[in-house]
Structure formats: structure tokens, C-alpha cells
Structure 1
Amino acid sequence: MKGTTILLDQWQGAEAAALIRDGQLDDLLIDSDAPRPGTIYRARADRPVKGQGGMFLTTPDGSAFLRQVKGLKPGEPLLVQVSGHAEPGKAIPVTTRLLFKSRYAIVTPGAPGLNVSRAIRDEDRRDALLAIAHDVLEGHPVLALDPPAGLILRSNCEEAEDEDVADDILAMATLAVNVLADLDGAPEKLVEGDGPHDLAWREWPVTEMVSEPGCFEEHEAEEMIAALYRAEVQLPGGGHMTIEPTRALVAVDVNTGGDTSPAAGLKANLAAARELPRQLRLRGLGGQIIVDPAPMPKKDRRQFEGQLRAALKGDPAETILAGWTQLGLVELQRQRTRAPLPAKGGKTR
């Protein structure tokens, strides 16, 4: 089945969105009980963490952790935004670099400038978008913020209606002004982060969108999601890899299967490199990832690294390829951008 379809439905009682590309599950968002990334709090500084350059904060949803807190004193109020998903038992990761983000526009307090996505290469369209932004923001209080705010027009603007782009710019600019003026008071949630349905509309290419209840089952997405609960992933060519999250890290083991040819190890490793980012994305896995490749000559490591870097480049989560260990394992550090798959029969925490 060719083409791209977005499905908006429920999974185990939680709001969920699935992106099906050419008949394959390409991305998956499932809501959880944890604070959503993008949520903005009025928080209160609690206590510094010696040796880590950070501070614990008090929020309505529990303890949060903020890095780089030079000049911040316990008891001070501040505005922070959830930057990712916390590991079980750990504080909510937050940042003071707020972003007000929608499908077409991002308002960036403290980062002035009017920018258009580089993905939009048509100069006439770029000029038209800049003109829309200037018209909308002329006289708007967002331009008088201290420090100044900026605006980024996203790649989705290229095919969008001018009126929709203008409405988005105005909405994000007004939200930014209202939130930034709301510093005084007890800890409070000021903005709720987007749920899976809103995130799908905001971040995914909208071609065909289906939102009828039961569309997961109708489009066989339920079977695709169920496969993610199995540790073993079959690879083209007969090999397979096993993905097993532990409390400390995610272990990935690559095997050649029944192939005993001299090039079997390299073939299985290249296939695993192409597939690994998608599997991590769909399973909601991040943090430290250790890959145990199938046996292959050291001279083939560069080819494997190149394939893995190319696959990671197209993934939205920032992933650092740290290198090889003395035991021949590959170390990765991946940003926690979403919650892991919920346990069977219930929501994620």
C-alpha cells in the first residue's frame, strides 16, 4: 500500500496517533500519565544539586530538574518548559528556553530574528511568508518583550494557505506574551503540552488523515503496534536483532540468522543500522543504547557507521554515536523525546 496515512485513535484507552508510510508503521505517539513535553510551568527553585550545576524545582506535577542555573536562588519563581520524558523515578527534565510551537510558526523568546525554514527554497514564497509575518506582528506586544522574541516559519508553510499561516503566527505570539507575563504566583501549569492527535497534525506530513474510532484496527495498525512488544525484529536477508530495554540502558543484539556466508555479518549489521532508528522511535526508547553487532572484520566498521549515521540523520530525536568500546560494542546516546510503549493492558506511567 503506497502513500502516507495518519491514524488518530485510541490504544489501550490512551489517545494515540500512528503514521503509516507505504504500508509500514513509521511513527507512533501514545499518551501517558507523565507530563507532556512542551508543557510550561511557573515553577519555584527548590535546592541546588552540588557537583551537577543544576537545581531541583517545584512544579504542580512534582519535582523537576533544571541544568545551568547560574544566578538562580532557592525560592525564586521562574518559567520552564518540559524538554523530554523523565526516566522512571527521576525528576521531570525542564529548560528555561521556552518555545511556542505550532504547525506553521515557532515563537522563540530570547532568540530574536525572523527566519524561514531552509527547506522552503522558492524565493517568491519565502518573500510572501516574510510579508505575512511582518503584517501580523506589526505593533504586536511580542516585539516589545525583554529579552526580544523571534519567529521561525516552518517548512509546512510552503503549501499552506496564507490565512492559516497568519492565524498561527498571531496565536503563538499572543500565547507567548500572555505566558511570559504570568511569572508571579505559586507553582502552576500554564500551558499543557500537545497530545498525540495535536502532535500528529503539528509534526507529520498531512496527506490523508483518518480519525474515526476503530481506524487502528481497520488499517491493521493494531497488529503493527503489537509487534513492537516482541524483542526480536526480523531483518531483510534473514538476520534479526533483539532489542531489550533495561533500567540502565537499551541492549541491541544483531545476529545473522541462518546465513553463514563470509559477508553475513556485514549484511546483517547494515540492515540493523537502517532499521534501528525506526524501532527506537516506535518503542519510545532513549538514553544509553549499546549495540552488539554481528561478527564482521574491523575494516567494515566504517561502512556500518556510515549507514547508521545516515539512518539517524533522518530521525527527529537527537542521537549521538559515541563510538566503539574495546569489546567491539557500539555506544549511542539518544534523547528521550517520548514515553516508552505502555505495558500491555494499561497506560504508560
Structure 2
Amino acid sequence: MAINIKEIIVDISFGQTRAALLEDHELAEIYMEGQEGQSIVGNIYKGLVENVLPGMGAAFVDIGTGKNAFLYVKDVLPNLFNIDGEALAEQDKIKEYEIGDYLKPGQELLVQIAKDPIDSKGARATTHITLPGRFGVLMPTVDYIGISRRIENESERSRLKELAARAKPEGMGVIVRTAGEGCRLSDLESDMEFLTRLWEDIKQKTMKTSAPKIIHKDMSLFFRIVRDMFTKDIDKLIINNKEYYEKALEIISMTSPALKPRIEYFSRYYEIFDYYDIEEKLEKLISKKVWLKCGGYIVIDQTEALTVIDVNTGKYVGSKDLTDTVLKTNIEAAKEIAKQLRLRDIGGIIIIDFIDMNDSNHEDMVLEVLRNALKKDKSRSNVLGITNLGLVEMTRKKVVQPKTNIMQSACPHCLGTGKVLSKQTIFKKIETEISRILFNKSYRKVEILAAPELAEEFNNAYSEEIEALCRKHDKSIRIIPDSSIPENEFKIIK
């Protein structure tokens, strides 16, 4: 079903920028940027090669952020790869290249961040520098012409390719962006003139700077939204900050004046995300369980290496038979999974455990629904099919942290596991600590502070044992309720 209304809602307040893409009033994408956890994708650094790993075909590069970036050999050879890292030469030829032939420890080089650091992994870097404009992207290190995949009309693609060839600086590359559909030669030329000047500034700054150091920082989230997302497909751009509203008008007046009437200032005495029912939907993003309209549900478990999604019938019992119930649940789940991957920005390897289907035609139907639903997503994905175990394997391009990583921090009590120690385990730890202290003759008393409920249960369960230990060792042992102690924790006072 075609999407009729697309709106971008921008909330700027308290040093944080949030932008939501609504499709027919449903939350489709969310972007966040604050003082902490800012994306470094697009930033350009003068890096210092720390280690070269021939066995991995990669190098670690110090970019001055505290965590080294990772650089693969193919990202040092721009003439063999296009903007997406796809090979322009045969794989056998690429394998002939050794990272050690191009990089040495202590070497300085210019790199751009292609993927943010995620969990324990450092940022992914590349020497394929790209400078995005409104309509086109300049690739100063590779001679190449490309057109956005999202522009599907073949005659328009041919027209844009011809324009790009005329606007392209000599010896450099150009990609026409989705926003470039329908643009004029003058639009592309204006972009390329600005970006060529920017590249000259970057080169000059690089020569005067010692590594490791940032050379160029990409635009903040708000300006990236205006540059990258606010195209003719967007019906409204609504902003709750007067200053940024006027900045958006100024930018669009110069680049796409026809879009200027679509920019609105939100002046109501409401929180803008509450007004558009976004805040409530955001809170659901951190939930592992997502209910389906039919009564089934999916469970999303993210690990550092991959994401696992489990599909269950839940409350849905169907109206015909088991086969029909399973098919309908899986079809609805496939649509919801595509939506959640895009909304949560989950990337990497994804394994989906649909409810078992005995009919291969039904399996094909579910996979087709999943692939079609993923077409709305601008991040590339690849559904590989169903394994012998009945699991669906797929990948989705990973560039930034999943939204749940930004919205949540690891729990200091469960250390990110999602679970805390059981009371029985806590009781055993208390018993072990008491035993250790009793062997130390210098202590006459032992006091253990615990959460009230935990203290009460321990005293009720082990009062006789505690009294026996007190008599045996001639010491005082007390379990004291203390509401300041977190649940399922305790503190020893000797």
C-alpha cells in the first residue's frame, strides 16, 4: 500500500535534537543527537597507523578519539571499489593486495568514518572520502559516476548520469542523491563547486595538522535532516525551535525553494513529540516484546554479534486451522519485523525464528512479504533464505548504534544481562561472607544491611542457623533491614 503522507517532526530542546519521520502518522524512523553519544559517521580525521594486521587484511588507526578505528585493505584501494564498497574488479585480483604493501605503523593518512563504534568495536574507517551536498556527493579520491538506487526511472537515471558527467570535477567522482531527481545542471554544478572548495580546505588543513586530529566534522543532526531527508517526497517539516526554523527556511530558499512552503514552525504550548503521539511510541522501542495486531508477538534479542527475533502466536488462535493461524501470524510478523529493524536501526546479522511452516509455498509467501516490507528501508538489507533449521537469515547495513543503545545504559545491578541474582544465590553469598568473617577473631560483631524484603526473608529462613553460629563463635550476627540498599543486594559492616 502506497504511503500518502510523510512528515518530519523536529524537537530541539535541552541540548538535544530529536527528529521523527512519520509515514501516514505512524512512526517510521527516529534520530537522536545530544551532548553525549554523537555519531562520528562522516567525520574526516588525519589518522596515525598503530598496527597493521596482515592476517586480517586490516589496520588499526589512531584518530584521537580514545578508541582506534578499523581500516580494511579494500578501504585503502578506492580505485577497486565504488561508493558502497562493492568490487569494481574481480575478487581474485583484490585478494592479491596486501595491507602491509600500503600501510606501515607510524604512517599518517586521511580517513573518513563509515560506521560508528558499536559496543566494544571501534569505528570503521575508509580512505574513500565522500562529501555530501544537497543533490550530489563528491568523491575526490575516485573517478566514478553513480545514481541513487532509489531513483528507479531509467530515463531519469540516464539524464542524471549525463548531467553528472558534465558537472563532475576532472579526476573526481560524483553520486547523484535521491534528492537530485528532477534537478537541473546548475543545481549539480553549484553543489560540486561548493564541495570542491570544501575539499581544497580539507587538504590545506591536513597539510598543517599533525595526526591524530579531526580535520572535518560533518553537519549536526538538524542540518543533516534538512540536507539529506527533506526532499520533495516529504509533505511537511515541522520544527519547534524558532531559530532553527528560520535556518531551515534560509537553507531551502537557496537549494530547493519549491519546498519552502512545507516548512512549519510549531508554536503550540505542548511538547511537540507528545502532540504527535511520538513520545509514547518511543518508550515502546526499549521493549523486547512487540505485540502484533492479531494477538501474536515477536521478541527481539540483541547481542554484540547478531540480533535474534522469535515469532509466537501468543493470544491468536485463528478462525480456521493451525496452518492458517501460523501463516497469518508469520505474515503479520514479517511486516512488523521490517518496521522494527528500520525504527530501531538494527544492523548486522539477523536471525528470525518464524513459527514452523510445513508448506514450502507458505515459506515463500512469508519471505516475499518480508522482502517487500524491507523495500521502504533506505538501509540495504539482504534476505538470504531459510536454513535447514527453519531459521531465516538476513543482513542489514550497520552504520550507527541501534536506537536502544542510545536510549538505554547497562544496568549497574544486572550488568546488562537483564537479570539479577536470585534470592537463593544472594542468601548463599551472605552465608559465605558470614563464614569468612567468623574465622577472623578480631571482629566481635557482624552486621549485614539488606533490602527490607530480603532481610525479612533471610531472617525467617535462617534464624535458627544464625543463633547457633552466634553461640558457637561468641559473636553477634544481625541482618538489618535498610531501605537504602537496592533490592537483591547487601552490605557487610564489620
TM range (shorter): 0.7 to 0.9
Decide whether the 8 Å contact of 1:85 with 1:339 is kept in 2.
yes
Query: 1:12 and 1:285, CA in 2 relative to 1: closer, same or farther beyond 3 A?
Result: farther
- The CA deviation at 1:311 is 2.4
Tell me which structure has the larger Cα radius of gyration: 2
Can you give the 5+ residue segments of structure 2 that lack an aligned partner in the other structure?
Answer: 74-98, 242-270, 411-494
Can you give the 5+ residue segments of structure 1 that lack an aligned partner in the other structure?
Answer: none
Name the counterpart of 2:286: 229
Give yes or no for the alignment of 1:336 onto 2:398.
yes
1:154-211 Cα shifts (integer Å, max 9, x gaps):
2312355776554323222222233245544322111213333223223323431111
SS at match of 1:170: helix
Larger proportion of helix: 2
* 1:1-349 equivalent positions in 2, closer than 5 A: 3-10=5-12, 14-31=16-33, 33-62=37-66, 63-68=68-73, 69=99, 70-115=101-146, 117=148, 119=151, 121=153, 134=166, 142-143=169-170, 148-159=171-182, 165-184=188-207, 185-204=210-229, 205=231, 206-213=234-241, 214-260=271-317, 261-262=321-322, 263-299=324-360, 300-341=362-403, 342-344=406-408
Query: 1:12 and 1:276, CA in 2 relative to 1: closer, same or farther beyond 3 A?
Result: farther
1:56-100 Cα shifts (integer Å, max 9, x gaps):
001021310001135211111111111112221221111111111
- The CA deviation at 1:24 is 0.3
Query: 1:242 and 1:12, CA in 2 relative to 1: closer, same or farther beyond 3 A?
Result: farther
Whole-angstrom distance in 2 between the partners of 1:245 and 1:11: 30
Higher mean displacement: 88-97 or 68-77? 68-77
Larger proportion of strand: 1
Decide whether the 8 Å contact of 1:77 with 1:183 is kept in 2.
no
Which fold has the larger relative contact order, with Cα–Cα distance below 8 Å and residues 6 or more apart in sequence?
A: 1
SS at match of 2:407: coil
Query: 1:12 and 1:89, CA in 2 relative to 1: closer, same or farther beyond 3 A?
Result: farther
Aligned-residue identity in percent? 28
Whole-angstrom distance in 2 between the partners of 1:326 and 1:292: 12
Whole-angstrom distance in 1 between the partners of 2:222 and 2:69: 26
Report the TM-score when normalising by structure 1. Answer: 0.84
Query: 1:225 and 1:122, CA in 2 relative to 1: closer, same or farther beyond 3 A?
Result: same
Name the counterpart of 2:492: none
SS at match of 1:281: helix
Query: 1:91 and 1:113, CA in 2 relative to 1: closer, same or farther beyond 3 A?
Result: closer
The alignment of Structure 1 onto Structure 2 pairs a total of residues equal to 337
SS at match of 2:335: helix
Decide whether the 8 Å contact of 1:12 with 1:345 is kept in 2.
no
Decide whether the 8 Å contact of 2:356 with 2:390 is kept in 1.
no
Whole-angstrom distance in 1 between the partners of 2:17 and 2:380: 25
Query: 1:223 and 1:297, CA in 2 relative to 1: closer, same or farther beyond 3 A?
Result: same
- The CA deviation at 1:121 is 4.5
Query: 1:237 and 1:113, CA in 2 relative to 1: closer, same or farther beyond 3 A?
Result: same
- The CA deviation at 1:113 is 4.3
Report the TM-score when normalising by structure 2. Answer: 0.61
Whole-angstrom distance in 2 between the partners of 1:266 and 1:202: 42
Whole-angstrom distance in 2 between the partners of 1:329 and 1:71: 41
- The CA deviation at 1:104 is 0.7
